[in-house]
Amino acid sequence: MEPDAIIGRVTSDSARPASLRWANPYLLLTIAVFTWSCNWVVGRGFANELPPMMWACARWILGILLVLPFAWRYRATDWPPLLRAWKLMVALGFTGLLLQNGLMFVGLHYTTATNGVVLNSSIPILIILISWLFLREPIRRLVMVGVLVSLAGVVAIVSRGSLATLSALHFNGGDLILLGAMLGWAIYTVLLRFVPRVHFLSLMLAITVCGALWFLPFAIAEAVGGGRISPTPANLAAIVFSAIFPAVIGNVFWNRGVAKVGASVAGQFVYLMPVFGAVLAWLFLGERLYLYHIAGIALILTGIWITSRGRRGAVALPGGID
């Protein structure tokens, strides 16, 4: 595939549609990560109720039905460049949907949500390393400092401020599966820099269609093997929630945020997952907020602030999502 066929020209924010000029990329990334934090809780809660591949396939098919009516109006201008970039769309569907979503649901059958949060913290580092290895993107010193500070905040929350607790964590085969999911998401985030300049809904529709097609044979195999989705209100609510919020809204906001600030900076927002987990547990489960929670949250937010400053003066990202 020729680079010029998939990399859009750089334009200023003033040239973008007015409908999204208001959207602060850091707010969009924060909301995206919040929806995914909720999805980890739902994914773990229904791990024994919903077959992972059938669940993932169902949520993305529902995602197509949700996005299609809104993306249809852009078909004349956006679908031709997306079709020309079909190899990239297939790769995005494979890495960001099949690998990340599919392996996450499978991995949660065999490991804990705590281990998932720990492994999730590898995403920002993986994004930086992939960008450096394959795109020759320099590793900015201030960005790496921000990564390490935020990582220290994650460690503080997961370990509850105790080295003994941290050393007691055990990892298993399910954690290796989750690590594969994290690698898939890191590659997906880096590949977003090459998307053609189309409306963000058109891009989301293309990726969702490719992802659903990737999931379909695995879901069929799971059904042939005896997998079933019981149509209980709780199961259906879990599928609908995971389709609307983490799948569609989360990914649309993430793609837009990456287009605005770049993969390395966007990756730092993944560290907000344990922050949201601690706050949600405090609000809805009655769990206490301890000093180590406050310290960890402060470190994570400080690291994100440092990383955002490290982006100043960086070259604008090629391509983009209108």
pLDDT tens string 37-74: 888 778 777 878 889 899 989 999 999 999 999 999 99
Q: Provide the pLDDT for residue 122.
A: 80
Bridge partners, 198 (sequence order): 321
Per residue in 233-286, pLDDT (tens digit) is: 999 999 999 999 999 999 999 998 988 888 878 888 888 887 887 777 677 756
Of these ranges, 61-70, 119-128, 298-307, the one predicted with the greatest mean pLDDT is: 61-70
CB 10 within 8 A of CB 318: yes
Q: Residue 100 corresponds to which tokens in the numbers above?
A: 């990340």
| Reported confidence tier of residue 192, pLDDT bands at 50, 70, 90 | very high
Instruction: Report which residue type is found at 70.
Output: F
Per residue in 5-36, pLDDT (tens digit) is: 333 333 334 334 444 455 789 999 999 999 98
Sequence-ordered list of residues with C-beta below 8 angstroms from that of 85, at least 6 positions apart, any chain:
1, 5, 6, 194, 195, 196
- pLDDT score of 177 more than 80: yes
Identify the DSSP state of 285. Answer: S
CA atoms of 233 and 224, how far apart (whole Å): 24
- pLDDT score of 170 more than 80: no
Per residue in 76-119, pLDDT (tens digit) is: 999 999 999 999 999 999 999 999 888 887 887 787 666 676 77
Per-domain residue ranges of the chain: 23-310
Alpha-carbon distances, residue 96 vs 169, 172, 257, 321 (angstroms): 28, 23, 15, 17
**What's the whole-number average pLDDT of the chain?**
82
Q: Provide the pLDDT for residue 15.
A: 38
CA 46, distance to chain mean position in Å, is 20
Q: Provide the pLDDT for residue 117.
A: 67
Count the alpha carbons within 13 Å of 205 in the hemisphere toward its beta carbon. Answer: 20
CA atoms of 217 and 229, how far apart (whole Å): 16
CA-wise closest residue to 252 among 7, 23, 40? 23
CB 71 within 8 A of CB 204: yes
Q: Provide the pLDDT for residue 311.
A: 59
Q: Provide the pLDDT for residue 121.
A: 76
Identify which has the larger pLDDT, 77 or 307.
77
- pLDDT score of 209 more than 90: yes
Sequence-ordered list of residues with C-beta below 8 angstroms from that of 292, at least 6 positions apart, any chain:
156, 157, 159, 160, 161
Long-range contacts of 311-314 (CB under 8 A, 24+ apart): 311/140, 311/143, 311/261, 311/262, 311/264, 311/265, 314/140, 314/262
Alpha helical stretches, state H, the chain: 3-6, 25-45, 52-71, 75-84, 86-92, 103-107, 113-120, 123-135, 141-158, 163-167, 173-191, 200-224, 233-242, 250-261, 263-267, 272-284, 291-310
Q: Provide the pLDDT for residue 169.
A: 67
